[in-house]
């Protein structure tokens, strides 16, 4: 309450907050006008109310947040957004396997920034980081659709343990037999053969489960999980998801380890909502599903840009322009995380156990046409109004890449951008149209499309300067 004085309502007298130095004539006359009507009991009640208000205000300035994966693409933006937009923050803990040098510049501000090098697959490290935190934003995860990591590693980091040796491990399963889930709901799922299973049957070991258990053991009550649109789709059958929302029915068939792991992890988080944490209070959880994120620091955008430079400033169209994808600016995704974390306590009954798509004003376009919104002003051009290669040939090349990756894995890392999964995703329309986040916790995009585009173009141009 420092810097403010309270003007309260008493016996019908309306009041409001004013800065020190502001003068209110009705308040100045208040003691003289009310001295006959104020009883000792009234003064006592007022004193108790003021003490409680000051105690609440002091507590509000002492919140501790933990961001897992805080040095990743999205995590860094969440960290910076919290420091800029969360006034109640006392300490911000950043937990990551690799800490970025940019963290040093954050340690000079009014908020205590604590960098913690750790691994989410190590339960004792997670518990130590979570202990004493009021809110955990779990953004750590292994985002890999190109095969840089093994399916076992993806599952271990993103979920809770080792998958079956027959699940998602071979490039042949990516194109033929679905290895994961058709539907997941209320803690149960169905495999490709239609058999039901419970998430409780999965081995309890590292990843997201460690974060949940750490919250339970340490008494941390609020958990926000960064999920993904790929929990839903696009699916490998090519079914479009056109202007869908969180309740739109859709057959989610996962053959690739990344969406498979995110789907399981999301359900673990949602199922944990309502569990009693240390001290007896309920754990309140929710999950955010960003569509394709873009913006400063986006590795795939960086890779495509440098690929275009190597090809003489040209990129070749491979996807029909009619295929639409939802994209969202990283700053708006970070802003939604901040809002959710802020409102989760007051709106626990409404928001607990819910999922929310992350969205903004970014236009619906194909991946290639959308990327050219930023790469075009930086000197690249997209060749062709129609795909230069037929789809069947792209499928053959993608399958060949997957086979080479599998054969070469014992010797070297081969992770091309084109594989059966990325081709299927890029060729399937997936757009969202929802206002659930606005209805539940007042979300509005912080950055307009024009701002988002300008910021991303400047970042790409800075890359061009560093490359030269």
Distance, C-alpha 232 to centroid of its chain: 15
The DSSP secondary-structure symbol of 163 reads P
Distance, C-alpha 190 to centroid of its chain: 26
The DSSP secondary-structure symbol of 281 reads P
E strands, 69-204, are 89-96, 112-117, 135-138, 183-185, 188-190, 196-198
Report how far residue 17's alpha carbon sits from residue 1's, in angstroms, rounded to the nearest whole number.
Answer: 10
Residue listed under structure tokens 């205000």? 57
| Secondary structure (3-state) at 128 | helix
Report how far residue 337's alpha carbon sits from residue 226's, in angstroms, rounded to the nearest whole number.
Answer: 8
Active-site residue set: 258
DSSP 339-405: HHHHHTTTTHHHHTTEEEEE--SPPPB-HHHHHHHHHGGGT-EEE-SS-SS-HHHHHHHHHHHHHHH
Which of 190, 217, 441, 227 minimizes the C-alpha distance to 339? 441
Instruction: Check: CB of residue 280 under 8 Å from CB of residue 314.
Output: no
CA distances from 306 to 315, 366, 442 (A): 10, 20, 39
Pairing type for strands 196-198 and 188-190 reads antiparallel
- Which helix (DSSP H) or strand (DSSP E) does residue 75 occupy? helix 73-85
Report how far residue 122's alpha carbon sits from residue 207's, in angstroms, rounded to the nearest whole number.
Answer: 8
């Amino acid at each position: 309450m420092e810097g403010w004085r309270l003007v309260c309502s008493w016996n019908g007298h309306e009041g409001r907050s004013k800065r020190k130095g502001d003068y209110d004539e009705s308040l100045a006359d208040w003691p003289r006008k009310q001295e006959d009507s104020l009883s000792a009991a009234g003064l006592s009640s007022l004193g108790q109310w003021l003490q409680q208000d000051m105690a609440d205000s002091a507590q509000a300035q002492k919140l501790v947040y933990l961001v897992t994966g805080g040095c990743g693409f999205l995590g860094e933006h969440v960290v910076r957004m919290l420091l800029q937009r969360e006034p109640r923050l006392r300490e911000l803990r950043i937990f990551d396997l690799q800490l970025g040098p940019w963290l040093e510049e954050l340690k000079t501000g009014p908020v205590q920034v604590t960098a913690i090098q750790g691994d989410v697959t190590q339960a004792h490290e997670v518990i130590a980081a979570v202990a004493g935190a009021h809110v955990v934003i779990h953004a750590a995860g292994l985002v890999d659709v190109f095969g840089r990591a093994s399916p076992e590693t993806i599952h271990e980091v993103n979920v809770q343990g080792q998958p079956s040796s027959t699940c998602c491990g071979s490039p042949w399963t990516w194109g033929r037999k679905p290895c994961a889930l058709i539907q997941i709901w209320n803690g149960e799922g169905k495999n490709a053969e239609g058999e039901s299973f419970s998430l409780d049957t999965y081995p309890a070991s590292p990843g997201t489960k460690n974060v949940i258990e750490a919250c339970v053991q340490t008494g941390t009550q609020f958990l926000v999980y960064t999920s993904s649109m790929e929990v839903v789709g696009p699916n490998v059958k090519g079914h479009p998801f056109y202007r869908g929302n969180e309740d739109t029915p859709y057959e989610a068939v996962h053959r690739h380890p990344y969406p498979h792991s995110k789907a399981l992890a999301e359900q673990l988080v949602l199922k944990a909502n309502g569990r009693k944490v240390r001290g007896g209070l309920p754990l309140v959880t929710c999950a955010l599903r960003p569509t394709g994120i873009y913006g400063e620091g986006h590795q795939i955008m960086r890779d495509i840009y440098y690929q275009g430079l190597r090809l003489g400033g040209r990129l070749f169209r491979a996807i029909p322009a009619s295929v639409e994808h939802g994209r969202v600016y990283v700053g708006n995704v970070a802003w939604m995380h901040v809002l959710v974390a802020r409102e989760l306590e007051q709106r626990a009954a409404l928001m607990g156990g819910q999922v929310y798509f992350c969205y903004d004003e970014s236009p619906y376009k194909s991946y290639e046409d959308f990327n050219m919104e930023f790469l075009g002003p930086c000197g690249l051009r997209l060749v062709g109004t129609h795909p230069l290669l037929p789809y069947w040939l792209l499928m053959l090349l993608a399958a060949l890449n997957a086979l080479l990756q599998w054969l070469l894995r014992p010797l070297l890392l081969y992770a091309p951008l084109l594989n059966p999964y990325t081709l299927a995703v890029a060729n399937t329309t997936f757009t969202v149209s929802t206002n659930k986040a606005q209805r539940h916790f007042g979300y509005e995009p912080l950055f307009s499309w024009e701002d988002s585009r300008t910021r991303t173009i400047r970042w790409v141009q800075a890359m061009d300067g560093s490359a030269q």
